[in-house]
Structure 1
């Protein structure tokens, strides 16, 4: 549809029909859980169809199914006055029928290209099931691990989050937005949702403009630059103004500064919550404030449906502002081809086609094993032997199928989920000695559980202990005060450690954890996150050495919960902790100002040696480029992959700068005995920050630079950025 046709359509629309295009409601015609209150669903289905018929809704969300999707579209096209097609949305976060690792886990791969591939596979499956639009990716920076929604993002670092945000948008949307398998992406939650105070879900965000711009906004800009045409607003307030009615954010910055022409949709009932915030007096006030701030679409509250037309008729909302939002949603529908091809992504035959399963299972297995971080491996306890070694496989996650997918997985095909036991049994020799004991439940002891586990450990050569967080401990509304294992699991670990049998801990988790006691002190620890469909096979690949772990931590693992918020790129202190001094320095009474396992840390089954970085010059011209080269050598007996990380530190600046900041990374494969030269390029734009005056610029001066294996390793070299 040409711009003229869109304008012609807007001219023919009544105010109620315009408001209808800005209303988003739950899809009760094809609910994803029809067995929940089916009578209410049937009733609601007729109500939804009537809303479509009368032009009172422009988008439906969290429904699934191509055939009923065609029915919905048919009503919109043939039974409504103007025949405007619906756009059908869903929360498809890290997989559809095939579930991939949670985004935080996938970020551990340090491979944005992997995220692009899994997002592309997700788009293929979701669009086959009658979905045009996903409310993903979440691109929130999470620096407080008490916050549960860190599982949905890419961790604590700005650069890593930007790279993964852009990759996921490109993967979801593909090369052609009008293609049947293109899934419209929605970066969320705009903005600073990950900065909620004390990691408390939905809480306030009190933040400097500089930190907002330098830390929390860049991943959104990266996602928009990658082609995203919609954003979702956040629940939180920012410095006292709720994000969903924040004109400075939604209009001044997003529209005027960034020139964003797409659609902003509220999170679920976020406009309604302006009343609870105490920012709006009533429903009408909330509607007016949200809409005039720049919130185009209202999700599920019904406030726009009930009150926006009245505000327009009363002159409190200008018709031109209403038309601008309607224009944006119609342009969005045009961009994905709905006006010319309204039944796109609504083909029952394509939905029934399962020919992609083998390919997507293989991708899920590869993504999962590339997401596992090996934290320690004392005495080279791993990899395990496939025969000739008695293995006791113990823990509540060994046979568990209900905690494989992780948070925000609505549509996964649970019949395909591979447990850890299944994966291990498939990997070992037929005569291998593998003993299975639960030991305890997810949160509670089992009668005789520890005794049985101890007996198994005493009979074994090695114990593999599968422990971690129940799935519901992370995700939305799952803030935690103590980011530790449930006591029943910790008690099991302590009992097993007391046997003296070597212990391998496999963690299942949706955040960084504060590891304690026997878990912290185990000879080997692997962080597996929630790996999705191919969980068991991927873990077996890691544990038996068919794949050498290559993932690195995208979040810092603290010594204790009380260190939160903790992140590696914290600003320098005026009293930094020194090796020989602890009193009156920047530290806790019980712990140093450091992580137990640092951002970027991870090991494999080989060892790498780094040569000192070589700089093309000791000086970087203002408009020039610095070339940094380093040689990485594999000193071990197996091939492996290394994540080579480049950090910088600005020694003297007009604002206190972080102790280190990641500026580039590369994952390289190195054969046994071989070496690889890694090359990075750095310019002044990568050294810029927002100053006290609000200007974004680099400042001339001396910088330290590391090329290393984690945020706390390596030897620094220095260079000078010259002025103009």
Structure 2
């Protein structure tokens, strides 16, 4: 090597060192200077977001991903776990590439890292924004302690069709509640604005309308009017952006003919221009290469379209790395298009402080001391108790006493791999208790507990395989023998606790269903248990609304426990033995039959609405074989105590459209024998609008704690802002006229009164 070459290499190395070590946050000049030194290939490399398994393996190292880094073709890596492996990859990026640009490490931290909280749908049923924010804060602290700086959460898609498996990942069917939860999650993950090394960048997904996919099937099309988009689906995404979300993930579905990943109207006009988002947009996994399946062009063309639409990072498909340089030569994109996307990636790294310290999220000490701690587990246990929804409690069978002979029966009663639910990437099930273990600890010597699996999840073993049931822990056994063992224990017992429902992966991504009833083998087991004449408590596991008509008619006590995370067993014991009264309320409507789907409480009226007092009426908007009613309405959930709602009072009967407000008040009394939480819900109906309006819309809620015998007056403030909607011209307005106000424990059982909005 001659002297001139050596001098040039030295300058490059010095420049790289200075870029990494001396960069202040929020310095546009720094980004300008860095990009001025980058080659076209280096810029494109920053747009490449790759998945990888463990780098360090028994046979050595996964050199493929490391070689990609050395070539400068990696901007981010996701779902790589552990400080050791992440440090290996970061070392190569910082020390062995020309400019030493650090890598952004991400993971699907959806409802916890190793301390797993209830699935997001369950969390939403707590209606507790402080608890939801706390769950995200703990998840961020644990993930960041293990090297992760970016999470692909929260998922804020509104879903009204329970056939869609990913309803488990969201906050249910209501945009008002969904928006509140989105804000809480963003604050929990990002903390004080990504200033500290225990705060991670959130990613709002899936933008947009993914929960409305046709037939409730993953990756399917969406065809929707702008009116519905803005009034029923967009609010949680927009709320997350207003809360400061650092990134957004585009959805797989097309939207009125243009896939979201290549939809400029969506990613640029709405997201950036209308809502002012200035952060990073990534695709979902392999979405760019899959654009070719939508028949909108070859790989080069769709890569160019995605970039120009506003996509910054290509997750998993390597399409940008393979195609953008050629697309530039062919005139399909400009270098400025590449620069815009590259800048956003670099700005995200800058906001996270990675240029100041590429290793700020890598600490062996934090990894040892801050993950799955006793305090984190205690929070997860407490939060889980708030998510359980008591659906039925005939003759106050619950809570149980810690005495006698208890039969615990069902395939979910003695498994540790099923408790965390779907999308728990970093979970370590070996650390978690089964329900049987937790129950034995909880009752000690005061009661005798015997367990039987009772049935397989399904009779069809191939069906079980499609649900990813862990065969080592839950092998498919002989159906007759399982039932025989269960009935023997059931007949021995004083009471039966049945742990039945969906296995963890029967909801979630790629787990869409056309039949929402309990799987056949378990349903037959439940029928047999009820026939014994012993009292039965059904602990029902699910990641979605299910059809439970037989259960509602025949089982004395039913509690939906969803999938409550790493502390499921102890949390269930807290509630079924009465230490905590159940307080969760449904955030999705439970149908009587799958044929009613999509089903949701805030529907619009029809020209011929059904008479609520009649089973069926010809030439009305109803079914001939079942009523329009849900099995369990939105907002529904029982308690061990009884809450009494007084008549509602209004501070005035009129509200002026110009900055006026009125107060609605109602007194809630705990008339039962248990201290308990209640979730009070306020709904409003715009009786006559310029466009058709929903029969009711959630516009407020409060979660309160009342001791037995205690009463409290609850107030809600109604303002013109609360009454706004997007009209036919997509102007956000409120219109003078008559409104109906409803307050109650759910969307069905409400106190009502009316007021007028005047000009």
* TM-score normalised by length of structure 1: 0.96
The Cα of 1:351 is off from its aligned counterpart by 1.1
CA distance, structure 2, for counterparts of residue 355 and residue 378 of structure 1: 41
Cα-to-partner distance string for 1:446-469 (whole Å, 9 max, x where unaligned)? 223323323333333321111000
Q: 1:384 maps to which residue? A: 400
CA distance, structure 2, for counterparts of residue 151 and residue 354 of structure 1: 27
- Partner of 2:374, secondary structure, is helix
Query: 1:205-244 maps to which residues of 2 (within 5 A)?
Result: 205-244=222-261
Cα-to-partner distance string for 1:31-79 (whole Å, 9 max, x where unaligned)? 8xx6xxx76x94xx32222222222111111101112222222221221
The Cα of 1:28 is off from its aligned counterpart by 4.5
Whether contact under 8 Å (1:123, 1:172) holds in the other structure is yes
Query: 1:300-319 maps to which residues of 2 (within 5 A)?
Result: 300-319=316-335
Query: 1:304-453 maps to which residues of 2 (within 5 A)?
Result: 304-353=320-369, 357-387=373-403, 389-444=404-459, 446-453=479-486
Q: 1:60 maps to which residue? A: 77
Q: 2:99 maps to which residue? A: 82
Q: 1:593 maps to which residue? A: 628
1:606 maps to 2:623: no
The Cα of 1:590 is off from its aligned counterpart by 2.0
1:646 maps to 2:686: no
Structure 1, unmatched stretches of 5+, are: none
Whether contact under 8 Å (1:30, 1:65) holds in the other structure is no
Q: How many residues align?
A: 713
Q: 1:458 to 1:28 in 2, by over 3 A?
A: closer
The Cα of 1:473 is off from its aligned counterpart by 0.6
Q: 1:661 maps to which residue? A: 697
The Cα of 1:580 is off from its aligned counterpart by 4.0
CA distance, structure 2, for counterparts of residue 427 and residue 48 of structure 1: 47
CA RMSD of aligned residues (A): 1.5
Q: 1:570 maps to which residue? A: 603
Q: 1:11 to 1:254 in 2, by over 3 A?
A: same
The Cα of 1:429 is off from its aligned counterpart by 4.4
Whether contact under 8 Å (1:494, 1:517) holds in the other structure is no
Q: 1:128 maps to which residue? A: 145
Q: 2:756 maps to which residue? A: 720
Whether contact under 8 Å (1:646, 1:664) holds in the other structure is yes
Match of 2:45 among 14, 20, 41: 20
1:708 maps to 2:744: yes
Match of 2:128 among 111, 114, 125: 111
CA distance, structure 2, for counterparts of residue 431 and residue 8 of structure 1: 71
Whether contact under 8 Å (1:29, 1:49) holds in the other structure is no
CA distance, structure 1, for counterparts of residue 368 and residue 680 of structure 2: 43
CA distance, structure 2, for counterparts of residue 590 and residue 465 of structure 1: 31
CA distance, structure 1, for counterparts of residue 66 and residue 449 of structure 2: 55
Cα-to-partner distance string for 1:522-567 (whole Å, 9 max, x where unaligned)? 1111000001111111111111101000110011111111111101
The Cα of 1:677 is off from its aligned counterpart by 1.3
Whether contact under 8 Å (2:589, 2:601) holds in the other structure is yes
Whether contact under 8 Å (1:100, 1:368) holds in the other structure is yes
CA distance, structure 2, for counterparts of residue 463 and residue 347 of structure 1: 48
1:51 maps to 2:86: no
The Cα of 1:320 is off from its aligned counterpart by 1.9
CA distance, structure 1, for counterparts of residue 545 and residue 372 of structure 2: 34
Whether contact under 8 Å (2:725, 2:733) holds in the other structure is yes
CA distance, structure 2, for counterparts of residue 96 and residue 579 of structure 1: 47
Whether contact under 8 Å (1:128, 1:346) holds in the other structure is yes
- Partner of 2:574, secondary structure, is helix
* TM-score normalised by length of structure 2: 0.92
CA distance, structure 2, for counterparts of residue 49 and residue 579 of structure 1: 65
CA distance, structure 2, for counterparts of residue 355 and residue 100 of structure 1: 13
The Cα of 1:157 is off from its aligned counterpart by 0.7
Whether contact under 8 Å (1:30, 1:64) holds in the other structure is no
- Partner of 1:393, secondary structure, is strand
- Partner of 2:498, secondary structure, is strand
Q: 1:161 to 1:579 in 2, by over 3 A?
A: closer
Whether contact under 8 Å (2:54, 2:81) holds in the other structure is no
Whether contact under 8 Å (2:241, 2:275) holds in the other structure is no
Query: 1:226-305 maps to which residues of 2 (within 5 A)?
Result: 226-280=243-297, 282-305=298-321
CA distance, structure 2, for counterparts of residue 195 and residue 8 of structure 1: 44
Q: 1:510 maps to which residue? A: 543
- Partner of 1:627, secondary structure, is strand
1:188 maps to 2:211: no
Structure 2, unmatched stretches of 5+, are: 1-23, 460-477
- Partner of 1:448, secondary structure, is helix
Q: 2:591 maps to which residue? A: 558
- Partner of 1:376, secondary structure, is strand
CA distance, structure 1, for counterparts of residue 409 and residue 167 of structure 2: 28
Q: 2:494 maps to which residue? A: 461
The Cα of 1:518 is off from its aligned counterpart by 4.1
CA distance, structure 2, for counterparts of residue 130 and residue 61 of structure 1: 11
- Partner of 1:447, secondary structure, is helix
1:616 maps to 2:616: no
Cα-to-partner distance string for 1:607-636 (whole Å, 9 max, x where unaligned)? 011111211111111021121111101101
